[in-house]
Structure 1
């Protein structure tokens, strides 16, 4: 009797495991089908004339984002209205001559060496550092109204990894003129104003949490590095960073501050359990957990933006709304993305142009560059240190371009 009962239990357990495996297999199959359908939908949007930019934006925001780096290389430029057949040239050696920001950029990039992928050879690291320096200086030299800030290279790193040097320069240039523009003023006044949006969002969603943080006098500096690097400086998982870039590239420039709000709201109980003083709360909030439910938070940030749009928060944020270049130019920028031709038509137009070869991106003959490309892995290093209250020490991870 007992052996029979035990056998029945074992059989029942094995049957349950079998059903569990069956459910897992069905879920994986379903997810695979959904991924294929989404990739097909994005491909159709890219080839429609004009490009169905709204479809691409929705895909970038929705669960899973753009799914693959290959798709990101195709969609990211469209989200920024970039003609992939008219890219900037690779910077020459002269880009560094007499550049006022060269020494600062050099120091920041040199400090980033410790965050390169482990096992990378010294000559490979040199190639990567040189590309990052030249990319940043190219933008700054072409736009003297823009001012370098520490953390700018964290964004450049991500772009270079996914889309390569020439496209990375084109994207960084467009972002610097729009999404990142307020961060590149001579002073940090505009950046502080953007941070001022955080507390009004928290007040509307959780008055209790808002009041606790006000009593602690923690301010918003804990979120500074999140905002100005699009979280590239504080997250260790590169796939999480890419997912957020999908989201931010398809959204309003202030979406990064809405995402900061949902992170704080997600950790509400942790905050309330803290001692109500600046040091304790800042210490907690300045360190982002690496296991956040990113898809859930992205969805929540998008909902927060719909429920509490920037213009509705501007007065509470004490923001001089009309003076924010990033915000006031965004609608025109977004409208400009709606009338893009698909790449197939641009390619045909270029084919008929006698100067086509001069604008098409080509693979260089530098053996060192090729070796660096072959030797790299697409993995971001360890999480960054927390932001100090009085100063920031940037040590960004740099990964090389894929093509």
Structure 2
């Protein structure tokens, strides 16, 4: 019998509620919810679950980033230019003054993370990830989550050279070679390389998807997954377009033009499931034995096991809240309520 979608949604909400209130938090159940159909359903739920997926205590956040982070910062001008160009990432119909205020917050969130982590190097596209967190979480939580993400999942993209990023892009062709040798051989003959997938990977698709709901659906998936899952997803997008690719002229301009224009109406859940299947069948450890991947190591992959273990020991919010009240007294203001900021509530 078919399950009523409303009943399925209510069941998922109940499972998420139970997982959040378990002690320790049931991160594996939250991970399953983020990956399964519909992802985390609403931005209100994301505000509760995303911090748990990144092991962030929302009752012990750093102060809201202020304009002081801009002083003498080497990346300020580049960040400013990128944020000015990011109009399409804000909801249509938003008042100009609201958007400008959010853009100012976005600059401060990015510079806050960079200033606190001098080993990280800003890259164009980082702002696409930062704005997604700002719109869902508000500036204070966005800064905390972005800091963890930048030192883990995104760490390879924030090195002082592109070598680590190129290394991760090489996994794309390695996956295609395993799954569809004919498609892999065609793309190789066209000498198209993997540059078409660069903006997909380093922005977690935020730069190339026009619908915010699709972007956050993928963020649910990537936050719940291994750091290389975004490149497995790139592989399934290419596999999904196999027929169109093979109908192309086998030359670099034709194939590159086709692949670089990602379709908006993708079957997201089917692609997510296939990416998970390919990850299980061809794990990074197996692909890493291939000659193109042998002589390099991903920083994010190296630290992922420790990160996974640390997030399994989180206390539920009711415990974190009472601990904060005990240490700070009755003046404590829970940072997770009322969700995000007034601007963000209006935006999403």
Q: One fold, TM greater than 0.5?
A: yes
Residues in 2 aligned to 1:114 and 1:244: alpha-carbon distance in whole angstroms:
18
Per the alignment, do residues 243 and 119 of structure 1 end up closer, same or farther by CA in structure 2, a change over 3 Å counting?
closer
Contact 1:196 1:317 in 2 (8 A): no
Structure 1 pair 356–84 and aligned structure 2 pair: CA distance change class (3 A): farther
Deviation at 1:363, TM superposition (A): 8.5
Return the match for 2:124 from 138, 145, 150: 150
Q: What is residue 94 of structure 2 aligned with on the other side?
A: 120
**Distance in 2 separating the partners of 1:220 and 1:360:** 45
> Is residue 242 of structure 2 the alignment partner of residue 268 of structure 1?
yes
Choose from 163, 177, 181 the match for 1:203. 177
Q: Deviations over 1:246-271 (max 9, x none)?
A: 10000000000000000000100100
Question: Secondary structure of the residue that 1:50 maps to in structure 2?
Answer: coil
Q: 2:54·2:311 contact (CA, 8 Å) conserved in 1?
A: yes
**1:356 and 1:170 mapped to 2: Cα distance?**
24
- In the alignment, what sits opposite 2:48? 74
Residues 230-379 of structure 1 correspond to what in structure 2 (within 5 A)? 230-316=204-290, 318-319=292-293, 323-354=297-328, 357=331, 360-361=334-335, 370=342, 372-373=343-344, 376-378=346-348
**CA distance in 1: counterparts of 2:98 and 2:47, whole angstroms:** 23
In the TM superposition, what are the counterparts of 1:104-183 in structure 2 within 5 Å?
Answer: 104-113=78-87, 115-183=89-157
* Structure-1 separation of matches of 2:330 and 2:299: 35
Mark the runs of 5 or more structure 1 residues left unpaired by the alignment: 1-25, 379-403
2:53–2:223 CA contact under 8 A, matched in 1 = yes
Distance in 2 of aligned mates of 1:355 and 1:314:
52
CA distances 1:271-301 after superposition (whole Å, capped 9, x unpaired): 0000000000000000011111000000000
8 Å contact 1:321–1:327 — kept in the other structure? no
SS of residue matched to 2:122: coil
1:107 to 1:318, Cα distance in 2 relative to 1, 3 A: same
Q: CA RMSD in A?
A: 1.9
The size of the alignment, in residue pairs, is 346
Instruction: Kindly provide the CA deviation profile for residues 133-181 of structure 1, in whole angstroms up to 9, marking residues without a partner as x.
Output: 0000000000000000000011111111111111111100000000000
Evaluate the alpha carbon distance shift between residue 73 and residue 93 of structure 1 in structure 2; reply closer, same or farther with a 3 A threshold: same
Aligned residue for 1:329, secondary structure, equals helix
Q: Which residue of 2 aligns with 1:398?
A: none
1:338 Cα deviation after fit = 0.6
Find the aligned partners of 1:197 and 1:208 in 2 and give their Cα distance: 17
CA contact (8 A) 2:135 2:344 kept: no
- Does the 8 Å contact 2:136/2:344 carry over to 1? no
TM-score (norm 1): 0.82
Shift of 1:353: 1.5
User: Shift of residue 320 of structure 1?
Assistant: 5.1
The answer for the alignment partner of 1:390 in structure 2 is none
Deviations 1:34-87 (A, max 9, x none): 110111011101101111111111111111111121111111100111111001
Tell me the CA shift for residue 128 of structure 1. 1.1
Name which of 47, 70, 73 aligns with 1:99. Answer: 73
* Bigger radius of gyration among the two: 1
Q: 1:59 to 1:290 in 2, by over 3 A?
A: same
- Matched residues in 2 for 1:310 and 1:337: separation? 21
Distance 1:41 1:321, change over 3 A: farther
**Distance of 1:125 and 1:158 partners within structure 2:** 14
